Amino acid sequence: MQVSVYNHQFKNSGSGFFSKLLAIFIIVPLIEIYLLIKIGQYIGAVNTILLVVITAILGSALMKLEGLRVWFQFQKDLSQGKIPQDGLLDGLLILIGGIFLLTPGILTDICGFLLLIPFTRHWIKKYFKNRLAKKIFGRDKIVDM
């Protein structure tokens, strides 16, 4: 009789992943709706809609500017024979930030702006690099920036 440990671990990790995704797709929209209603009660419905539209426009412009800045730095590094250290990760975080900003809501706008602003993106990037290094190598604080 053979017992497959791999399949058991795979099923458990997968179900946890999908449970988290389901929670995100249910909880985040509920929080967004709650926040929009509360803000709408405070500043009015029209102003709340304008706030959402303006953050989407500003976010799109910031995403374009940051995306171009990262792209030019990426090209500069390649032309100088350097390996683009953070270009791909910056680009991914900018893309995710832009998607957050295009999604109507206050919470997603905050997350989007945090990913687009270089100062905060630096710390978010550092967190994910250290987390990935810990997962791969089993150690903390391998990545210093």
Contact 67, 101 (CB under 8 A): no
Q: Is residue 96 part of a domain?
A: yes
Q: Is residue 37 part of a domain?
A: no
Structure tokens given for 74: 């990426």
What would the mean pLDDT of 101-120 be, rounded to a whole number?
Answer: 92
With CA atoms as reference, report the closest residue to 35 among 96, 110, 127: 110
Q: Is residue 21 part of a domain?
A: no
From first CA to last CA, the distance across the chain in angstroms is: 51
pLDDT band per the 50, 70, 90 thresholds, residue 81: confident
pLDDT of residue 138: 77
Q: Is residue 108 part of a domain?
A: yes
Taking 90 as the threshold, does the pLDDT of residue 111 lie above it? yes
Q: Is residue 25 part of a domain?
A: no
Q: CA angle 74-129-75, nearest 5°?
A: 5
pLDDT band per the 50, 70, 90 thresholds, residue 112: very high
pLDDT, tens digit, for every residue of 86-105? Answer: 888 899 999 999 999 888 88
Structure tokens given for 99: 């998607």
Residue-number span of the structural domain to which 78 is assigned: 44-137
Q: Is residue 92 part of a domain?
A: yes
Q: Is residue 3 part of a domain?
A: no
pLDDT, tens digit, for every residue of 13-62? Answer: 556 888 888 888 899 899 999 999 999 999 999 999 999 899 989 998 99
Q: Is residue 88 part of a domain?
A: yes
Lowest mean pLDDT among 105-109, 112-116, 121-125, 135-139: 135-139
How many domains does one find in the chain?
A: 1
